[in-house]
Structure 1
Amino acid sequence: MDKLRKHIEDVVPISDGEFDFVKPFFTYKRVKKHQYLTQEGDTVTFEYLILSGVFRMFYLDSEGKEYIVQFAGENWWMADYQAYFKEKKATLHIVCMEDAEVLCLNLHGRETLSAELHKMEHFFRAKLTNGYVALQRRIISLLASTPQQRYEEFGQLYPHLMQKIPKKYIAEYLGVSRETLSRLYSNRVTQ
């Protein structure tokens, strides 16, 4: 729970008593490589704070083509938020890419924390705002940047993920073929 406290205190200060109130709302879970947290059609009970490991969130179309929506590593939050907040069935898959640890928080717990402890409401709002900004940046990048620019931006924003994620998935995330990604990598190394 030390990681949770530090994660919260990166946004808002929290006293020992306040943290004692917060802790019981979170459940610890170990996740194995290739294990799913969520699959299409599931009821989405939790959002996850990633303590360690890397996850991939993706959408599968009717023909089985995978579209990567997000990667998430340590200190990132992840869920099929449409399903989580609207209490609908999942449309996204979340799979573990290496053995990991997460903290699980259900919607009722999140709402209770926000109502009972204003600092936590501020914390959750800050985290959602940052996520929304990152999502807009990703959409703009996909719409207006060249593959080389997207690759370089990904490397600058997430250098730690470049080492952990197979190139196949980075290519899918950037919307390029594996061959194109190899050329982009070669261009970057020779520059």
Structure 2
Amino acid sequence: MSKILREHIEKIISLTDEEFEFVLSHFSQKRFLKHQFLIQEGDFVNNDFFILNGLLKASHRNEENKEHILQFATENSWITDPQAYNNQTIATLNIQCLEDGNSLFITLENREKLCNSLHKMESFFRKKATKEHILLQRRILCLISNNAKNRYEDLLKQYPSLIQRVPKTMIASYLGVSRETLSRLITN
């Protein structure tokens, strides 16, 4: 499992075996079960999760208890409530497991220690954050600029296997459309 993390990190920076062992010593492992919450609104958030296998969603419920899905996290991706994690405050998002799986996670304290000790990792986390900001901007622009069909096509490009892994109601929530609209998109 550590090999998966190393390959992920080394897409951005290179590490010696000793450096990677040092990096790995700052992470812990967590298994999760389908339907389990890793983070719930109101929880204190201390961990950023790297998904080894499995599928999770980040969502928010509004006053009418309607769920809005912000993100899906599949293998080789990260998930947390970034505002709560980085500010060390309570969560405004729910992170729920949609499949059984495994993750490695790092606390903010360990991430800071790691970055102070190994500046390559500071570069890694900065570049990772930049990539996440770009993806978020793309998602927002897609939501406000594209019609439902284009949003659906963008989803298929970003998460090709997702349609087989989650209920259509979740896909509709992520796209910001009704279940009926999604059904029409799929059949066309």
The TM-score range, normalised by the shorter chain, is: over 0.9
- Secondary structure of the equivalent of 1:159? coil
The residue that corresponds to 2:29 in the other structure is 28
- Deviation, 1:169, is 0.3
Q: Does 1:163 align with 2:164?
A: yes
- Deviation, 1:45, is 1.2
- Deviation, 1:28, is 0.6
Q: Does 1:153 align with 2:154?
A: yes
The residue that corresponds to 1:114 in the other structure is 115
Q: Does 1:123 align with 2:124?
A: yes
Which amino acid in the other structure matches residue 6 of structure 1?
E
- Deviation, 1:126, is 1.3
State the distance in 1 between where 2:64 and 2:28 align: 36
- Deviation, 1:19, is 0.9
Q: Can you give the 5+ residue segments of structure 1 that lack an aligned partner in the other structure?
A: none
The residue that corresponds to 2:182 in the other structure is 181
Which amino acid in the other structure matches residue 79 of structure 2?
M
Number of residue equivalences = 187
Q: Does 1:11 align with 2:16?
A: no
The residue that corresponds to 1:97 in the other structure is 98
Which amino acid in the other structure matches residue 136 of structure 1?
Q
TM-score, normalised relative to structure 2: 0.97
- Secondary structure of the equivalent of 2:25? helix
Which amino acid in the other structure matches residue 56 of structure 1?
K
State the distance in 2 between where 1:181 and 1:32 align: 28
34-43 or 159-168: bigger deviation:
159-168
The residue that corresponds to 2:54 in the other structure is 53
State the distance in 2 between where 1:77 and 1:9 align: 15
- Deviation, 1:163, is 2.2
State the distance in 2 between where 1:78 and 1:111 align: 18
State the distance in 2 between where 1:157 and 1:68 align: 15
- Secondary structure of the equivalent of 1:67? strand
Percent pairwise identity: 49
TM-score, normalised relative to structure 1: 0.95
Alignment deviations for residues 124-144 of structure 1 (CA, whole Å, 9 cap, x no partner): 111111111110001001101
Which amino acid in the other structure matches residue 23 of structure 1?
L
The residue that corresponds to 1:136 in the other structure is 137
- Secondary structure of the equivalent of 1:121? helix
- Deviation, 1:50, is 0.4
Q: Can you give the 5+ residue segments of structure 2 that lack an aligned partner in the other structure?
A: none
Which amino acid in the other structure matches residue 60 of structure 2?
Y
State the distance in 2 between where 1:166 and 1:160 align: 12
